[in-house]
Structure 1
């Protein structure tokens, strides 16, 4: 590349040796070319068309194809470096430049009087370059290596800084994800707690309903036992020989099943307080259903059903049309409405 060649020439290396290094490294860059020059400082520069040139993969005319200068297409002047061409463009206003294989005449100071070569008149834009000593060459090389090392160090710092920024972004993303996951877990735990509370409350209500049912059944059995005991006690006192009373006619006695009124306790499956009411014994279960529907809107007359707890029985739709007496509910009974 023209830029790499210009820098090597400015460092004081011979042009032929620079061309050899660029050919050998196939224009891989400044550092490989400089390493080649340093490694072959004690070796002669091979001819471009010679065996060394063939090893470099170049033809015999490869020397002529190497850009040796920059040419102004507007005026035809040639320049050794990009800086010279830029200076010419600023002064002349020319804009069209191209790489050229022509050599730029390099004028050296005379060893005796310091005057310039006579060829200077033919090349007014030529540059006077004083050959560098070995110490100056080494100094230039060390300077260039220091710049390259500084550039690498700067790039390494930039890479480390970028890696640190990327790591910070990655950690922040991980923290955000962890916080989202934690929030979701907290919400799930809260939902689980609420669900367990609801289940516990429902279980308590069910237990309370069962307990109330058991207490009601106990009370009902106690009342029934008391009525049967009172009935037996009344019959015994009537049959006693110490009491001289005329026997009552069988037709005059009133059986409990013939009671004109029937007292019902109706327990609701939807919850709430049981309903208690005394009905005429000739009322039907449909009349009872109408009463339940009027007291609780959750029930409908056409769909409500009744069941007794003792004895356990569910009344059919045909039995709903029968009277309370016909269904054996007189004088009192407990019904479950559903």
Structure 2
């Protein structure tokens, strides 16, 4: 017998109505069967279900060996055997004395209490009166209401917990996103700062070279004028802050040339160090690989200081030959 049927029997429902409810709900579970019992408490049991229930009850109550033993006992006492004497009308727990209508209720009691000793009894359990049935149904409805209320509370608590977890997960994702964005901003600021510093160094080196070239031209003009006038050449000027920078900065023989290229299409400038023996075509190929807006065959370069646009012939010359060593700033268009 199913645990659903045993529980319903323990609740006080008639076994015949329980069998009807389980059959009508296709054994869908305790709750559907209970709903059927409550909804049809005042309706008669269909004849087919009543007959099946009676047959099932008879099979549960009768035991051929116990009946033979009972008959032998009555004969030994000189009594007569009646049909009612041979029918076990209830089952009694030998350990606690409780009496049950059927094997189902006795089994349910055994599961709950752990009692194992049972015996058949001729004691008949009176069926519930209408008032008792109503009281039992009211008690059952109250228990169901309490159970549903507890389930609703548990679901509310679970939903709150899930919502808290969802919000925390959202906050964690938002914080991770903010941290990533902050790192990107810091990285971009560092890059711009570095490019600005490199640009300032390149401009300073170019300016120092221009001042040095101006001083050399002035001295050369003075020497040439003195030679034309038959005068002695003026002595070379003493070392001043405008003297030629160190070899690492001023030398046009530096093996490397550092270029900063500003794009006419906008965006941050591009910086890279090339071999001084490389050509402007090498720079053009690099620019084309960095930006799809430029083509190797059409890109042109111009120096920012002094202002100069390099021809296609100069594109094939080395950076050193184009006077871009050791560093320069170019505009790509």
TM-score by length of 2: 0.51
Tell me by how many angstroms 1:203 deviates: 0.8
Supply the distance in 2 between the matched residues of 1:188 and 1:268 (Cα, whole angstroms).
Answer: 38
The match for 1:270 is 248
Match of 2:115 in 1: 90
- What per-residue deviation string (whole Å, max 9, x for no partner) do you get for residues 54-81 of structure 1? xxxxxx9787468975999xx9987351
How many residues align? The count is 218
Displacement of 1:13 in angstroms is: 4.2
The structure with the largest alpha-carbon Rg is 1
Shift of 1:199: 0.9
CA offsets per residue over residues 141-175 of structure 1, 9 Å max, x none?
Answer: 12111211211221222122122212222222222
Aligned counterparts of 1:198 and 1:150: Cα–Cα separation in 2: 72
Partner of 2:182: 186
Q: Note the C-alpha offset of 1:217.
A: 1.4
In the alignment, which residue of structure 2 is the partner of 1:223? 219
- Counterpart position of 2:27: 27
1:211 shift after superposition: 0.9
1:110-259 equivalent positions in 2, closer than 5 A: 124-125=120-121, 128-234=124-230
1:16: which partner in 2?
Answer: 16
Q: Is the 8 A contact 2:209 2:244 kept in 1?
A: no
Gaps of 5+ in 2: 68-90, 92-101, 234-242, 257-275, 278-322, 327-333
Assess, with a 3 A threshold, how the Cα gap between structure 1 residues 87 and 68 changes in structure 2: closer, same or farther: farther
Partner of 1:79: 103
Contact 1:79 1:85 in 2 (8 A): no
In 2 relative to 1, CA 38–170 (structure 1 residues): closer, same or farther, beyond 3 Å? closer
Tell me the alpha carbon deviations over residues 222-266 of structure 1, each in whole angstroms, 9 at most, x when there is no partner: 11121122222228xxxxxxxxxxxxxxxxxx9x9xxxxxxxx98
Give the C-alpha shift of residue 205 in structure 1: 1.1
**Structure 1 residues 62 and 145, CA, compared in 2 at 3 Å: closer, same or farther?**
closer
- Distance of 2:156 and 2:62 partners within structure 1: 43
How big is the alpha-carbon RMSD for the aligned residues of Structure 1 and Structure 2? 4.5
Distance in 2 of aligned mates of 1:227 and 1:70? 140
| CA distance 1:215–1:155, shift in 2 (3 Å) | same
Instruction: Measure how far apart 1:208 and its partner are.
Output: 0.9
Q: Secondary structure at the match of 1:223?
A: helix
Give 1:196 deviation, angstroms. 1.2
**Alignment match, 1:36:** 36
Q: CA deviation at 1:127?
A: 5.9
Mapped contact 1:4–1:29 kept (Cα < 8 A): yes
Contact 1:22 1:33 in 2 (8 A): yes
Retained in 2: the 8 A contact 1:2–1:67? no
Counterpart secondary structure, 1:45? coil
Q: TM-score scaled to structure 1, two decimals?
A: 0.50
How far the C-alpha of 1:134 sits from its partner, in A, is 2.1
Question: 2:5 is matched with which residue?
Answer: 5
Change (3 A) 1:195 1:134: same
Change (3 A) 1:219 1:159: same
- Identify if the C-alpha distance between structure 1 residues 134 and 181 changes in structure 2 by more than 3 Å, giving closer, same or farther: same
From the superposition, tell whether residues 266 and 27 of structure 1 become closer, same or farther in structure 2 (CA, over 3 Å).
closer
Residues 267 and 337, structure 1, Cα contact 8 Å, conserved in 2:
no
Between 1 and 2, higher relative CO (CA 8 Å, sep ≥ 6) is seen in 2
